[in-house]
Amino acid sequence: MGTTTEETDQKQILWADDEIELLRSHIIFLKGRGYDVAPVTNGDDAIAAVKKQAPDVVLLDEMMPGKDGLTTLQAIKDINPHIPVIMITKNEEERVMEQALGHRIDDYLTKPVNPSQILLACKKLLDARQLMKDRMGQDYVVASNRLQEQVSTATSWQDWIDIHVRCSEWDLQLDQFHDPGLMRTHGDLRRSCNREFGKFVEQHYERWIQDEEDSPLLSVDIVNEFVAPPLLEGRQVFFVVVDCMRLDHWMAIQPLLSEHFNIQQQYHYSILPTATPYSRNGIFSGLFPCDVAKLYPDEWKSARDDEGSRNRHEHQLLDRQLAEIDPTLRMDTRYVKVLDIAEGNHMVKKVHSYRAFPLMSVVYNFLDMLTHGRSESEILKEMAPDESAFRSLTRSWFAHSSLLEMLRKLAQTDSVVVLTTDHGCVLGAHATVAYGDRDTSTNLRYKFGKSLGSDPKSSVHLKDPDHFGLPTIGVGTNFIFAKEDFYFVYPNRFNEYQRQYANSFQHGGISLEEMILPVAVMEGK
């Protein structure tokens, strides 16, 4: 006779107890609830049963003749560390509980136990994931409706921070359960949010640049708002900028830091373009790009210069900004840019000597290098095919990084750590045509040059850069910025470049992921 689907779907419980005959009513109760229970009376039989066919859960008596519960537990975990085990004992001593927890039990019950307790403990371990997944689906429908309502009524920059925070929280929740339908729905919601956000930025960005009273915190405000105050109080500050870290990336790594730090969470908007030469210079200088270009005109004189050269003066810009904030902040500061593993490890070794300086500034470039490198590496594309995988890769990197090791050491001191980022990135999904002369910049999410043109549905065109705090590089310079998940491709060889850059992570344009960013002020616990 063939096995029915109902039989194969039954969860298998292995119950080891030397008084198993006294528990017949419990076993009958569990079988009546759809569980298949295999009773054994000692540790050796329990171990043999696990070797023969892995049960879905083990109920294990702590006091048995022969091998006791803890010894049996260790043997079971050596065979299969993923089998959940519920320890049942008469002993309420804390020492026994700690021993059991140290041996990786999944739950702990004290005798006498009734059938409902056993059922609940098994259900929590065996069915919790599906129950949570079902509940999450219901909760997401409610949350999605609320978010859509928030988007339709959003009138301020704070509204958009709230929307992006809620969306990013759902990014992480949905990562826990692979539900393609929910993830597609959430992706559609994010695109809808970015569509409206692009319109909002287009309407308000110029006023943010001109009117300080009615603008959000921008890149140019970070040092004044978060770094200078503790310095003025005489505190030592480590200022850490992680290049190209999105809000959802920060949320993925924050639990690793919460173990060591009390964290005050804030947010800021990146200036445009959301790219290193502009937004990171904005952070270190406290100036908009047009003013940085006046200070260092040689680095900005040509539209096709290597953009990396435009961040050569971050240390000098920061010292200048501090002196302007308060003349008493003229101090001996240090600045390090971490571009490789060796430099990161060197930072960890030197971290305590850096505490001799009132301000230590560190730029970590790993995520930015990963973003750019992924476009050219099949291995990285395989490792991070989508945003969920990119979050996972970011957390994995951070968990084993020199940055986390350095921060752990700082958590043991009285230093204040200010951690932020210059811009985020977005997964480019749709190509849109851009027009310009041959001196137009080559960036995918923004371009500057002369005679620029693009579809207004997918981009924002700024014809007067000075009104937006942007440099005028030659007569007639103007900028275009891609919105949502569009990226610019020239009309010649359109299909070739569309295929090349589709589903690549890019930055420089207007999206929630690129513009709304975390600032964390952290002090060791």
pLDDT tens digits, one per residue of 182-191: 899 999 999 9
Per-residue pLDDT at 5: 38
The type of residue at 172 is L
CATH class, range 217-425+514-524:
alpha beta
Q: What percent of the chain has pLDDT over 90?
A: 57
pLDDT band with cut points at 50, 70 and 90 for residue 451? confident
Query: Average of pLDDT values for 318-332?
Result: 91
Determine the Cα–Cα distance for residues 331 and 323; give it in Å rounded to an integer: 9
Q: Is 50 exceeded by the pLDDT of residue 8? A: no
Q: Is 80 exceeded by the pLDDT of residue 388? A: yes
Query: Average of pLDDT values for 391-409?
Result: 94
Contacts of 78 (CB under 8 A, 6+ apart): none
pLDDT band with cut points at 50, 70 and 90 for residue 308? low
Q: Is 90 exceeded by the pLDDT of residue 286? A: yes
Query: Average of pLDDT values for 221-238?
Result: 96
Query: 198, 188, 199, 202: which is closest to 147 by C-alpha?
Result: 188
Q: Rounded to the nearest 10 degrees, what angle do helices 402-411 and 341-354 cross at?
A: 10
In contact, 48 and 16? CB cutoff 8 Å: no
For residue 466, the Cα-to-chain-centroid distance in whole angstroms is 34
Per-residue pLDDT at 513: 98
Choose the most confident range, by mean pLDDT, from 21-25, 331-335, 383-387, 412-416: 412-416
Higher pLDDT, 298 or 78: 78
Determine the Cα–Cα distance for residues 421 and 219; give it in Å rounded to an integer: 9
Per-residue pLDDT at 422: 97
Per-residue pLDDT at 407: 96
Note whether 5-126 and 217-425+514-524 share their fold. no
Per-residue pLDDT at 162: 97
Determine the Cα–Cα distance for residues 292 and 295; give it in Å rounded to an integer: 5
CATH class, range 5-126:
alpha beta
Determine the Cα–Cα distance for residues 109 and 464; give it in Å rounded to an integer: 71
Determine the Cα–Cα distance for residues 58 and 454; give it in Å rounded to an integer: 63
Determine the Cα–Cα distance for residues 273 and 288; give it in Å rounded to an integer: 11
Higher pLDDT, 256 or 103: 256
Which residue reads 């009285």 in tokens? 414
Per-residue pLDDT at 4: 41
End-to-end CA distance of the chain: 63
Q: Where are the domains of the chain?
A: 5-126, 130-209, 217-425+514-524, 427-506
